[in-house]
Amino acid sequence: MERFMTMSGESKFYNSFIALDVETANSNRSSICQIGMAAFENGEVVRIWDWLINPNQKFNKWNIRLHGIDNEAVTNAPDFSQIYDELRSTIENQIVVSHSSFDPSAISAATEYYNLSTIEFIWLDSLKIAQEAWPESLSFKLKHLAFDLDIEFNHHDAHEDALVSGKILLSAIRDTGIPIEGWIKFMNIYVSTANVRPESVNKQLPPKHKRQPCPTVNKHKSIVFTGNLSISRQKASDLAVAAGFRVVSSVSSRTNFVVVGNGAGNKLCVACDLIKRGLDIKFLREDDFINIVT
Protein backbone atom coordinates (compact mmCIF):
# COMPACT_ATOMS: atom_id res chain seq x y z
CA MET A 1 0.00 0.00 0.00
CA GLU A 2 1.27 3.46 -0.84
CA ARG A 3 1.41 5.99 1.95
CA PHE A 4 0.93 9.55 0.69
CA MET A 5 1.82 12.62 2.71
CA THR A 6 2.30 16.30 1.95
CA MET A 7 4.88 17.98 4.10
CA SER A 8 6.51 21.38 4.45
CA GLY A 9 10.29 21.64 4.47
CA GLU A 10 12.93 23.86 6.03
CA SER A 11 15.15 24.79 3.10
CA LYS A 12 14.39 26.84 0.01
CA PHE A 13 16.43 25.37 -2.81
CA TYR A 14 15.06 25.28 -6.30
CA ASN A 15 15.86 21.66 -6.95
CA SER A 16 13.58 18.75 -7.69
CA PHE A 17 14.60 15.14 -7.15
CA ILE A 18 13.45 11.86 -5.63
CA ALA A 19 15.19 10.20 -2.69
CA LEU A 20 14.99 6.41 -2.59
CA ASP A 21 15.82 3.63 -0.16
CA VAL A 22 15.10 -0.11 -0.09
CA GLU A 23 15.23 -2.90 2.47
CA THR A 24 15.86 -6.51 1.50
CA ALA A 25 14.76 -9.87 2.89
CA ASN A 26 18.15 -11.52 2.55
CA SER A 27 21.60 -11.02 1.04
CA ASN A 28 20.21 -11.15 -2.50
CA ARG A 29 19.73 -7.59 -3.66
CA SER A 30 16.69 -8.68 -5.66
CA SER A 31 14.86 -9.61 -2.44
CA ILE A 32 13.36 -6.15 -1.90
CA CYS A 33 10.80 -6.17 0.93
CA GLN A 34 10.29 -2.42 1.30
CA ILE A 35 10.70 0.61 -0.94
CA GLY A 36 10.57 4.13 0.42
CA MET A 37 10.74 7.29 -1.66
CA ALA A 38 10.42 11.01 -1.01
CA ALA A 39 9.83 13.63 -3.70
CA PHE A 40 11.60 16.94 -3.07
CA GLU A 41 10.54 20.08 -4.91
CA ASN A 42 12.07 23.50 -4.32
CA GLY A 43 13.81 22.14 -1.22
CA GLU A 44 10.63 20.78 0.33
CA VAL A 45 9.28 17.26 0.74
CA VAL A 46 6.02 17.12 -1.18
CA ARG A 47 5.28 13.42 -1.33
CA ILE A 48 6.31 10.16 0.33
CA TRP A 49 5.83 6.61 -0.94
CA ASP A 50 6.15 3.64 1.40
CA TRP A 51 5.56 0.16 -0.03
CA LEU A 52 5.92 -3.17 1.71
CA ILE A 53 6.93 -5.69 -0.95
CA ASN A 54 6.56 -9.46 -0.99
CA PRO A 55 10.02 -10.55 -2.17
CA ASN A 56 8.91 -14.12 -3.01
CA GLN A 57 12.13 -15.16 -1.30
CA LYS A 58 13.05 -16.35 2.19
CA PHE A 59 13.74 -13.85 4.95
CA ASN A 60 17.10 -13.99 6.69
CA LYS A 61 17.11 -13.58 10.48
CA TRP A 62 19.83 -10.95 10.22
CA ASN A 63 17.71 -8.82 7.86
CA ILE A 64 14.60 -9.21 10.01
CA ARG A 65 16.60 -8.07 12.99
CA LEU A 66 17.76 -5.02 11.07
CA HIS A 67 14.46 -3.69 9.73
CA GLY A 68 11.76 -5.69 11.56
CA ILE A 69 10.01 -6.87 8.39
CA ASP A 70 9.27 -10.57 8.14
CA ASN A 71 7.24 -12.96 5.99
CA GLU A 72 4.06 -12.31 7.96
CA ALA A 73 4.34 -8.55 7.37
CA VAL A 74 4.37 -8.97 3.58
CA THR A 75 1.83 -11.81 3.24
CA ASN A 76 -0.74 -9.58 1.55
CA ALA A 77 1.74 -7.14 0.01
CA PRO A 78 2.33 -6.84 -3.76
CA ASP A 79 5.52 -8.19 -5.23
CA PHE A 80 7.97 -5.99 -7.12
CA SER A 81 6.41 -6.67 -10.50
CA GLN A 82 3.07 -5.34 -9.25
CA ILE A 83 4.44 -1.94 -8.21
CA TYR A 84 6.94 -1.76 -11.07
CA ASP A 85 4.80 0.40 -13.38
CA GLU A 86 4.22 3.08 -10.75
CA LEU A 87 7.85 2.95 -9.64
CA ARG A 88 9.02 3.35 -13.22
CA SER A 89 6.63 6.21 -13.99
CA THR A 90 7.86 7.99 -10.85
CA ILE A 91 11.66 7.71 -11.16
CA GLU A 92 12.40 7.13 -14.83
CA ASN A 93 14.57 9.92 -16.27
CA GLN A 94 14.42 11.71 -12.91
CA ILE A 95 17.20 12.68 -10.52
CA VAL A 96 17.29 9.96 -7.85
CA VAL A 97 19.39 10.19 -4.69
CA SER A 98 20.25 7.26 -2.41
CA HIS A 99 22.86 6.63 0.26
CA SER A 100 25.38 4.36 -1.50
CA SER A 101 24.96 2.26 -4.62
CA PHE A 102 23.06 -0.50 -2.80
CA ASP A 103 19.59 0.89 -3.51
CA PRO A 104 19.85 1.46 -7.28
CA SER A 105 21.63 -1.87 -7.66
CA ALA A 106 18.78 -3.56 -5.76
CA ILE A 107 16.23 -1.98 -8.10
CA SER A 108 18.27 -3.23 -11.04
CA ALA A 109 18.53 -6.73 -9.52
CA ALA A 110 14.78 -6.87 -8.89
CA THR A 111 13.94 -5.84 -12.46
CA GLU A 112 16.23 -8.60 -13.70
CA TYR A 113 14.72 -11.13 -11.25
CA TYR A 114 11.24 -10.45 -12.66
CA ASN A 115 12.43 -10.08 -16.30
CA LEU A 116 11.36 -6.44 -16.43
CA SER A 117 12.87 -3.59 -18.42
CA THR A 118 15.65 -1.57 -16.83
CA ILE A 119 14.58 1.75 -15.33
CA GLU A 120 16.85 4.60 -16.43
CA PHE A 121 17.41 7.53 -14.07
CA ILE A 122 20.08 10.07 -13.07
CA TRP A 123 21.65 8.82 -9.86
CA LEU A 124 23.22 10.83 -7.07
CA ASP A 125 24.99 9.12 -4.17
CA SER A 126 24.49 11.06 -0.93
CA LEU A 127 27.35 9.10 0.66
CA LYS A 128 29.89 10.25 -1.95
CA ILE A 129 28.45 13.75 -1.84
CA ALA A 130 28.85 13.86 1.96
CA GLN A 131 32.46 12.70 1.64
CA GLU A 132 33.15 15.62 -0.68
CA ALA A 133 31.11 18.21 1.22
CA TRP A 134 32.40 17.38 4.71
CA PRO A 135 35.71 15.51 4.32
CA GLU A 136 36.59 16.07 7.98
CA SER A 137 33.71 13.89 9.22
CA LEU A 138 34.75 10.68 10.95
CA SER A 139 31.89 8.60 9.59
CA PHE A 140 29.63 8.79 6.56
CA LYS A 141 27.15 6.15 7.67
CA LEU A 142 23.58 7.36 7.30
CA LYS A 143 22.77 7.47 11.01
CA HIS A 144 25.98 9.32 11.87
CA LEU A 145 25.37 11.96 9.20
CA ALA A 146 21.79 12.29 10.43
CA PHE A 147 23.13 12.92 13.94
CA ASP A 148 25.58 15.53 12.65
CA LEU A 149 22.81 17.29 10.72
CA ASP A 150 20.31 17.11 13.61
CA ILE A 151 17.91 14.91 11.65
CA GLU A 152 15.75 12.59 13.75
CA PHE A 153 14.63 9.41 12.05
CA ASN A 154 13.87 5.72 12.48
CA HIS A 155 16.84 3.97 10.87
CA HIS A 156 16.18 1.05 8.49
CA ASP A 157 12.67 2.22 7.71
CA ALA A 158 12.91 2.74 3.95
CA HIS A 159 10.96 5.97 3.59
CA GLU A 160 12.72 7.56 6.58
CA ASP A 161 16.15 6.55 5.27
CA ALA A 162 15.16 8.02 1.90
CA LEU A 163 14.20 11.30 3.58
CA VAL A 164 17.61 11.51 5.27
CA SER A 165 19.39 10.89 1.94
CA GLY A 166 17.49 13.77 0.40
CA LYS A 167 18.20 16.08 3.33
CA ILE A 168 21.91 15.23 3.15
CA LEU A 169 21.90 16.38 -0.48
CA LEU A 170 20.12 19.64 0.42
CA SER A 171 22.57 20.25 3.29
CA ALA A 172 25.53 19.68 0.96
CA ILE A 173 24.07 22.15 -1.55
CA ARG A 174 23.62 24.70 1.24
CA ASP A 175 27.03 24.23 2.85
CA THR A 176 29.12 24.17 -0.33
CA GLY A 177 27.09 26.43 -2.61
CA ILE A 178 27.27 23.74 -5.29
CA PRO A 179 23.91 23.38 -7.09
CA ILE A 180 22.40 20.05 -7.94
CA GLU A 181 23.74 20.35 -11.51
CA GLY A 182 27.26 20.51 -10.07
CA TRP A 183 26.71 17.35 -8.05
CA ILE A 184 25.37 15.61 -11.16
CA LYS A 185 28.61 16.50 -12.94
CA PHE A 186 30.56 15.26 -9.93
CA MET A 187 28.83 11.90 -10.14
CA ASN A 188 29.75 11.78 -13.83
CA ILE A 189 26.20 10.92 -14.86
CA TYR A 190 25.19 13.83 -17.06
CA VAL A 191 28.60 14.11 -18.73
CA SER A 192 30.93 11.58 -20.29
CA THR A 193 34.20 13.09 -19.08
CA ALA A 194 35.64 11.06 -16.21
CA ASN A 195 36.43 12.55 -12.82
CA VAL A 196 34.50 15.78 -13.32
CA ARG A 197 34.48 17.66 -10.02
CA PRO A 198 32.98 21.06 -9.20
CA GLU A 199 35.84 23.43 -8.45
CA SER A 200 34.36 24.54 -5.15
CA VAL A 201 34.24 20.97 -3.82
CA ASN A 202 37.93 21.18 -3.00
CA LYS A 203 37.62 24.48 -1.17
CA GLN A 204 37.78 24.52 2.62
CA LEU A 205 34.32 24.88 4.13
CA PRO A 206 33.71 27.89 6.36
CA PRO A 207 34.14 27.06 10.09
CA LYS A 208 30.42 27.46 10.77
CA HIS A 209 29.75 24.56 8.41
CA LYS A 210 32.19 22.15 10.05
CA ARG A 211 30.45 18.99 11.21
CA GLN A 212 31.43 17.77 14.65
CA PRO A 213 32.22 14.03 14.90
CA CYS A 214 29.28 11.97 16.07
CA PRO A 215 29.98 10.66 19.60
CA THR A 216 28.90 7.16 18.55
CA VAL A 217 31.79 6.98 16.08
CA ASN A 218 34.50 4.83 17.65
CA LYS A 219 37.41 5.60 15.39
CA HIS A 220 40.59 3.75 16.44
CA LYS A 221 38.81 2.02 19.36
CA SER A 222 39.76 -1.62 19.79
CA ILE A 223 37.09 -4.33 19.79
CA VAL A 224 37.25 -8.09 20.44
CA PHE A 225 34.64 -10.77 19.78
CA THR A 226 34.13 -13.81 21.95
CA GLY A 227 31.55 -16.59 21.81
CA ASN A 228 29.00 -17.39 19.11
CA LEU A 229 27.00 -14.61 17.47
CA SER A 230 23.90 -14.93 15.29
CA ILE A 231 25.94 -13.50 12.40
CA SER A 232 29.26 -14.78 11.15
CA ARG A 233 32.44 -13.50 12.75
CA GLN A 234 33.50 -12.12 9.36
CA LYS A 235 30.23 -10.19 9.04
CA ALA A 236 30.63 -8.82 12.56
CA SER A 237 34.21 -7.78 11.83
CA ASP A 238 33.22 -6.07 8.59
CA LEU A 239 30.49 -4.10 10.40
CA ALA A 240 32.90 -3.09 13.14
CA VAL A 241 35.55 -1.89 10.70
CA ALA A 242 32.96 0.08 8.72
CA ALA A 243 31.92 1.81 11.96
CA GLY A 244 35.51 2.81 12.72
CA PHE A 245 36.61 0.09 15.14
CA ARG A 246 39.93 -1.72 15.05
CA VAL A 247 39.18 -5.45 15.30
CA VAL A 248 41.75 -7.50 17.22
CA SER A 249 41.84 -11.19 18.04
CA SER A 250 42.83 -11.10 21.72
CA VAL A 251 42.07 -9.05 24.83
CA SER A 252 44.82 -6.79 26.13
CA SER A 253 45.31 -3.58 28.09
CA ARG A 254 44.52 -1.68 24.88
CA THR A 255 41.10 -3.30 24.42
CA ASN A 256 38.13 -0.93 24.60
CA PHE A 257 35.16 -3.22 23.90
CA VAL A 258 34.41 -6.93 24.12
CA VAL A 259 31.35 -8.24 22.27
CA VAL A 260 30.08 -11.25 24.19
CA GLY A 261 28.18 -14.02 22.43
CA ASN A 262 26.92 -17.40 23.59
CA GLY A 263 29.54 -19.71 25.01
CA ALA A 264 32.07 -16.94 25.63
CA GLY A 265 35.50 -18.34 26.40
CA ASN A 266 38.80 -17.30 27.90
CA LYS A 267 38.72 -13.80 26.41
CA LEU A 268 35.87 -12.94 28.76
CA CYS A 269 37.90 -14.07 31.78
CA VAL A 270 40.93 -12.06 30.66
CA ALA A 271 38.78 -8.96 30.21
CA CYS A 272 37.26 -9.39 33.68
CA ASP A 273 40.73 -9.65 35.23
CA LEU A 274 41.84 -6.46 33.44
CA ILE A 275 38.72 -4.61 34.62
CA LYS A 276 39.49 -5.64 38.20
CA ARG A 277 42.92 -4.06 37.71
CA GLY A 278 41.28 -0.76 36.83
CA LEU A 279 41.20 -0.86 33.03
CA ASP A 280 38.21 0.65 31.24
CA ILE A 281 36.88 -2.23 29.12
CA LYS A 282 33.20 -2.28 28.23
CA PHE A 283 31.17 -5.42 27.48
CA LEU A 284 28.60 -5.34 24.69
CA ARG A 285 25.81 -7.78 24.02
CA GLU A 286 25.29 -8.58 20.37
CA ASP A 287 22.17 -6.38 20.29
CA ASP A 288 24.16 -3.45 21.66
CA PHE A 289 26.92 -4.01 19.11
CA ILE A 290 24.46 -4.18 16.19
CA ASN A 291 22.81 -0.96 17.36
CA ILE A 292 26.16 0.84 17.34
CA VAL A 293 27.35 -0.29 13.92
CA THR A 294 24.14 -0.20 11.84
pLDDT digits (tens, 9 = 90+) for 18-37: 999 999 999 899 999 999 99
| Residue 26 Cα to chain centre, angstroms | 16
Mean pLDDT, rounded, of the chain: 81
In whole angstroms, what is the distance from residue 5 CA to residue 26 CA? Answer: 29
Q: Is the pTM of this model over 0.75?
A: no
In whole angstroms, what is the distance from residue 150 CA to residue 284 CA? Answer: 26
Q: Nearest CA to 11 among 32, 42, 50?
A: 42
Fold (topology level) of 222-293: Rossmann fold (3.40.50)
Say what percent of the chain tops pLDDT 70. 84
**Which of 10-19, 161-170, 254-263, 276-285 reaches the highest mean pLDDT?**
161-170
In whole angstroms, what is the distance from residue 284 CA to residue 229 CA? Answer: 12
**CATH number of the structural domain 16-209:** 3.30.420.10
Q: What angle do CA 9, 90, 108 make, to 5 degrees?
A: 115
Which of 76-90, 98-112, 126-140 is predicted with the least confidence, judged by mean pLDDT? 126-140
Domain boundaries, the chain: 16-209, 222-293
pLDDT digits (tens, 9 = 90+) for 275-291: 878 888 888 888 888 87
In whole angstroms, what is the distance from residue 124 CA to residue 156 CA? Answer: 20
Helices (H) then strands (E): counts for the chain = 10, 9
Q: Are 222 and 256 in contact (CB under 8 A)?
A: yes
